[in-house]
Chains A and B, each alone.
Chain A
Amino acid sequence: MTKQRANWSPYDNNGGSCVAIAGADYCVIAADTRMSTGYNILSREYSKITKLADKCLMASSGFQADVKALQKHLAARHLIYQHQHNKQMSCPAMGQLLSNTLYYKRFFPYYSFNVLGGLDSEGKGCVYTYDAVGSYERVGYSSQGSGSTLIMPFLDNQLKSPSPLLLPAQDAVTPLSETEAVDLVKTVFASATERDIYTGDKLEIVVVNAEGIRREYMDLRKD
């Protein structure tokens, strides 16, 4: 007698891909704007990027209902922090908060695959990458979502330092300039769109640097 399984799942996957790249004095966070379910498109203009603090943004792909709930939770916690400490949360602090929030629901997780991007307290770019239950790491670049398997190897090839066995381990940030990093992100998404059915429509690119936050859009294939 086979074990009976649930006919209903509380989760759905709305697809999409996110990328973040950290530079010496900037951070690029990008995500496509397509929200889908199964073989259907729900929206061609749904933003997956949200501002959590002054110089800290989060891009999340996965189940957007859980993502929305997570964003609201973090925004509320940030407000409380501002009241208690009279300052904005730094990116590393927000990184830790996000990890703890995700692990809190270890046994009924947020189906949300996140990359956190922003500037740390010294003004250097910082990127944190997460899994669904809160395991996180500070890295120089990362991608999550349905296209991540297509994007990550290319970013590794272009940005990763050669094996640390030969050279001393390099700093987490990439030596690319801001325009080069944005160009890389556009190329990477155009390529991922060709081969991943859940990625496409439009690309939203957000650049954080000392001057502030800048938003840019680019068209992607709509098929």
Chain B
Amino acid sequence: MSKGMVDVPPRGGFSFDLCRRNDMLTQKGAKAPSYRKTGTTIVGLIFQDGVILGADTRATEGPIVCDKNCEKIHYMAPNIYCCGAGTAADTEAVTDMVSSQLQLHRYHTGRESRVVTALTLLKRHLFNYQGYVQAALVLGGVDVTGPHLHTIYPHGSTDTLPFATMGSGSLAAMSVFESKYKEGLTKDEGIKLVTEAICAGIFNDLGSGSNVDVCLITKGHKEYLRNHMLPNPRTYVSEKSYAFPKKIEVLLTKITPLKEKVEIIESSDAMEE
């Protein structure tokens, strides 16, 4: 196919081949496809014995809710979990990829994974893609060095914090944390505060909604509380169930028999071993 040149395999990183074509198409009036974002509220905080992560469960495609109960707290390692905001495909892919890399690393070293390892793998990947991988993450876990909580931004910068929020509902959640956070919270106080912060995002941010997921990580123990709170039940269910009558009208019936295209030859050899 090539004119004598050796086909060079792609070198990794983002391929910008189609960008000129996309620009030309948008200029001609074609609308670029929207992607599914998690328009989210995700939080994390460090308490007495470890780390607690929280997230809402709404995934949106523009103004429409495409998933009312999705999972935004992703598994990275037995002692590390990561909440993801931004483009759903990006957060899913990047956390899955680093989770696999961590497992291989565990086999290689024979040790429990450290949070800084996950942090470095994630930030290197995101920086490499110059922000095109739109994943904003809250990474938390407990390893031999102690409890850790980090935020990772789509361009690859990171922060290390005692409490953190990300996503479109981050301001609503942060207002709760800034008012009520203190060091040395107990497990129940921590879960209550995380739930309050996520609820603030759920009710005040239109990009977040539905239920609260919580994940608690301490030394040697983790609790993944899926749908820890369901503050949004459906408000009205009609007693009369709705029927969907078949309204397909037959306008015209025309039957065209297919001609015989296959000749069947009766042979005693057919199908014998």
Chain A interfacial positions (CB closer than 8 Å to B): 15, 36, 38-41, 146, 150, 157-158, 162-163, 165-166, 180, 183-184, 186-187, 189-190, 193-198, 218-223
A38 to B238, CA, bound (A): 32
B218 on the A face (CB < 8 A): no
Q: Is the CB of A40 within 8 A of B242?
A: no
Q: Is the CB of B236 within 8 A of A197?
A: no
CB-defined A-B contacts under 8 Å, sample of 15? A40-B205, A186-B236, A187-B236, A189-B236, A190-B235, A190-B236, A194-B68, A195-B65, A197-B64, A197-B207, A198-B63, A218-B235, A221-B209, A223-B58, A223-B209
Closest to A220 in B: B235
**Which among B7-15, B89-97, B244-252 touches the partner chain?**
B244-252
Contact of A222 among B203, B234, B244 (CB under 8 A): B203
In the complex, what residues of A have CB within 8 A of residue B249's CB? 162-163, 165-166
Q: Is the CB of A39 within 8 A of B206?
A: yes
Q: Is the CB of A187 within 8 A of B60?
A: no
A130 to B179, CA, bound (A): 47
Contact of B65 among A184, A186, A196 (CB under 8 A): A196
Q: Is the CB of A187 within 8 A of B203?
A: no
A195-B64, A221-B232, A222-B232 are known contacts. Are A41 and B238 too (CB-CB below 8 A)? no
Q: Is the CB of A193 within 8 A of B240?
A: no
Closest to B244 in A: A157
A197-B207, A218-B236, A223-B232 are known contacts. Are A187 and B64 too (CB-CB below 8 A)? no
Closest to A13 in B: B63
Q: Which of B46-68 contact A (CB under 8 A)?
A: 58, 60, 63-65, 68
Q: Which 8 A-B pairs have the closest CB atoms?
A: A223-B209, A190-B236, A197-B206, A187-B238, A39-B206, A223-B202, A195-B65, A186-B236
B100 on the A face (CB < 8 A): no
Distance (Å) between the CB of B153 and the closest chain A CB? 19
Contact of B203 among A38, A165, A223 (CB under 8 A): A223
Q: Is the CB of A197 within 8 A of B242?
A: no
A146 to B65, CA, bound (A): 12
A162-B247, A183-B240, A194-B68 are known contacts. Are A39 and B207 too (CB-CB below 8 A)? yes
Most B Cβ at <10 Å: residue of A40, A41, A146: A40
In the complex, what residues of B have CB within 8 A of residue A218's CB? 235-236
Q: Is the CB of B63 within 8 A of A197?
A: yes
In the complex, what residues of B have CB within 8 A of residue A223's CB? 58, 202-203, 208-210, 231-232
In the complex, what residues of B have CB within 8 A of residue A162's CB? 247, 249
In the complex, what residues of B have CB within 8 A of residue A40's CB? 204-206
In the complex, what residues of A have CB within 8 A of residue B79's CB? none
In the complex, what residues of A have CB within 8 A of residue B236's CB? 186-187, 189-190, 218
A15 to B65, CA, bound (A): 15
A220 to B232, CA, bound (A): 9
Closest to B236 in A: A190
Q: Is the CB of B238 within 8 A of A186?
A: yes
In the complex, what residues of A have CB within 8 A of residue B251's CB? 165-166
Distance (Å) between the CB of B204 and the closest chain A CB? 6
A190-B236, A220-B235, A222-B232 are known contacts. Are A157 and B247 too (CB-CB below 8 A)? yes
Distance (Å) between the CB of A195 and the closest chain B CB? 5
A150 to B65, CA, bound (A): 11
Q: Is the CB of A221 within 8 A of B235?
A: yes
